[in-house]
């Protein structure tokens, strides 16, 4: 039979928020209530009749509340198949009550872990009875309604108030899907807690999601799994697209390299402008000057509040997204003048330390590249050592290299990007591209510092850089022909440092 009328309900919840209206509706529909512990007391205090589970099982709650509902009379009442004659005979023989509706939630395991609680407290928040009841009711969805979260109370209210406490098979199956979603997510959280970060199992569960306008291209479907509202307040603009999110992720990763007042402008995840300065406005203008052509339609980020003077300059440019920790009231009003322009106020959240993506018929995972070189990591390998100013420029360039598609070469001063060669199939092509780009915007790489994401297999890059006037080079080293590049530097009067750290980005 497709439709089922609810005549009895088992209620046992940890979180009582929103429960009272449900209990009243159940009572108004003449539905017999069973409960235990705190939920039973809650219902009794409402003045509504409820049968204690202990009266059904003839067993009290034992072991400090660890065992309350784990009993054949409870699970039999949930799992019994109403259309099977043999099941019905056994239910009558053992005096098992029919349980048509199960309202159960789970102990707050994830919240307890996040609170920094002790192992003992965390383990006590591993639900046993609740998750078993949910699974049993969901398994028997043909006959039983399962409400496994207060998020489903609104739907249950409609069933009780507008549908005479009657449910369809499709409704019960949908609620079973929700239930198994809740239990699988819960078990994944428990596994990851016990296994820790060194587990060799790929188990992730993210319940929050957002439907995107489309994927990377309009013919591709797109979803974002996660809670964007935990990381950003969207102050203005259209919904973020798939490509916006990819660029926003790259922008956040890049800006987090800098403590000084900094602006960065990105296009297709690569920086086309980065600058630090004493004022926000100056940092923006210097970043924009790096490549004002590519900045059109880009994603912009800063690590300081956007004031009205900076907003006035930003307002002259068409861009997709602007991210900042805060906006002055005047700046926000000014920048919100264009309805599609996305303004994001960034919040402080902990970001994952692992990265993964689908590949072939599986998934690859790696540690996030969290290494940021300092002066102590620079090993001088040439007869000439970089000056203090050149060292600062090398480190600045290297921060950008780390977040640029390989193969890449970056030219920079100590406080701004000059140009970069991005995503080339050879390092020498990346170098030529960077020189040409600098020239096209009226810059010179002469006197700037150069950083490379990987070693030089041949001295040709050193020779081209020296011919363009570069005086200091940073590279990770590690080639069997490192000495050829070092000797070329010595011959051409260029300082070189190695870091021992490669920053490929594919």
Known catalytic residues are 139, 268
**ω into 257 cis (within 30 of 0):** no
Query: What distance in Å separates the CA atoms of residue 430 and residue 354, rounded to the nearest whole number?
Result: 29
Q: Which of 11, 12, 129 is nearest to 70 (CA)?
A: 129
427-440 and 460-467 helices cross at what angle (nearest 10)? 10
Q: Which of 41, 36, 33 is nearest to 66 (CA)?
A: 36
Provide φ and ψ at 107, rounded to 5°. Answer: -55, 145
Residue 305 CB-density burial (10 A; 0-12 exposed, 13-18 middle, 19+ buried): middle
Q: In the 8-state DSSP scheme, what is residue 133? A: H
Kind plus residue range of the DSSP H or E element containing 496 = strand 495-498
72-79 and 85-93 helices cross at what angle (nearest 10)? 150
CB 54 within 8 A of CB 60: yes
Tell me the β-bridge partners of 8: 32
Residues 6+ apart with CB under 8 A from 47: none
Residue 25 CB-density burial (10 A; 0-12 exposed, 13-18 middle, 19+ buried): middle
Residues 6+ apart with CB under 8 A from 488: 459, 462, 463, 466, 494
Q: What Cα–Cα distance (Å) separates residue 249 from each residue in 116, 234, 266, 267, 473?
A: 28, 15, 11, 12, 29
Provide φ and ψ at 300, rounded to 5°. Answer: -120, 140
């Amino acid at each position: 039979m497709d439709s089922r009328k609810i005549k009895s309900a088992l209620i046992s919840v940890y979180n009582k928020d929103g429960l009272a209206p449900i209990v009243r509706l159940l009572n108004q529909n003449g539905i017999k209530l069973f409960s235990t512990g705190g939920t039973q007391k809650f219902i009794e205090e409402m003045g509504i009749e409820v049968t204690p589970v202990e009266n059904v099982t003839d067993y009290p709650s034992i072991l400090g509340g660890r065992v309350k509902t784990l009993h054949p009379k409870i699970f039999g009442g949930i799992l019994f198949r109403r259309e099977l004659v043999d099941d019905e005979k056994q239910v009558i023989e053992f005096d098992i009550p029919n349980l048509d509706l199960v309202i159960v939630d789970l102990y707050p395991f994830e919240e307890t872990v996040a609170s920094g609680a002790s192992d003992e407290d965390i383990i006590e928040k591993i639900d046993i009875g609740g998750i078993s009841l949910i699974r049993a009711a969901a398994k028997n969805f043909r006959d039983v309604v399962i409400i496994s979260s207060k998020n489903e109370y609104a739907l249950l209210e409609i069933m009780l108030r507008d549908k005479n406490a009657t449910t369809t098979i499709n409704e019960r199956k949908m609620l079973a899907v929700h239930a198994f979603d809740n239990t699988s997510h819960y078990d994944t959280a428990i596994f990851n807690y016990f296994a820790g970060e060194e587990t060799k199992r790929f188990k992730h569960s993210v319940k929050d999601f957002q439907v995107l306008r489309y994927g990377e291209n309009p013919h591709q479907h797109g979803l974002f799994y996660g809670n964007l509202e935990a990381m950003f307040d969207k102050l203005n603009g259209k919904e973020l697209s798939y490509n916006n999110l990819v660029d926003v992720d790259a922008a956040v990763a890049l800006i987090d390299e800098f403590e000084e007042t900094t602006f960065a402008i990105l296009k297709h995840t690569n920086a086309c402008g980065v600058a630090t300065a004493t004022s926000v406005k100056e940092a923006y203008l210097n970043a924009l000057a790096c490549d004002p052509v590519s900045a059109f339609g880009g994603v912009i980020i800063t690590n300081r509040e956007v004031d009205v003077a900076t907003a006035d300059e930003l307002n002259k440019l068409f861009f997709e997204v602007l991210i900042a920790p805060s906006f002055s009231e005047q700046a926000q009003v000014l920048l919100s003048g264009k309805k599609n322009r996305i303004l994001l106020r960034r919040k402080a959240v902990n970001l994952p330390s692992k990265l993964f993506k689908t590949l072939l018929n599986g998934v690859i995972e790696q540690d996030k590249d969290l290494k940021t070189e300092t002066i102590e990591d620079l090993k001088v390998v040439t007869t000439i050592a970089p000056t203090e100013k050149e060292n600062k420029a090398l480190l600045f360039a290297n921060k950008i290299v780390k977040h640029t598609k390989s193969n890449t070469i970056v030219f920079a001063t100590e406080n701004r990007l000059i140009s970069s060669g991005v995503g080339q199939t050879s390092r020498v092509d990346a170098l030529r591209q960077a020189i040409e780009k600098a020239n096209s915007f009226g810059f010179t790489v002469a006197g700037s510092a150069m950083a490379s994401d990987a070693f030089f297999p041949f001295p040709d890059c050193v020779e081209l850089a020296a011919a363009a006037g570069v005086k200091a080079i940073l590279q990770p080293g590690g080639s069997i022909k490192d000495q050829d590049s070092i000797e070329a530097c010595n011959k051409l009067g260029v300082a070189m440092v190695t870091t021992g750290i490669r920053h490929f980005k594919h």
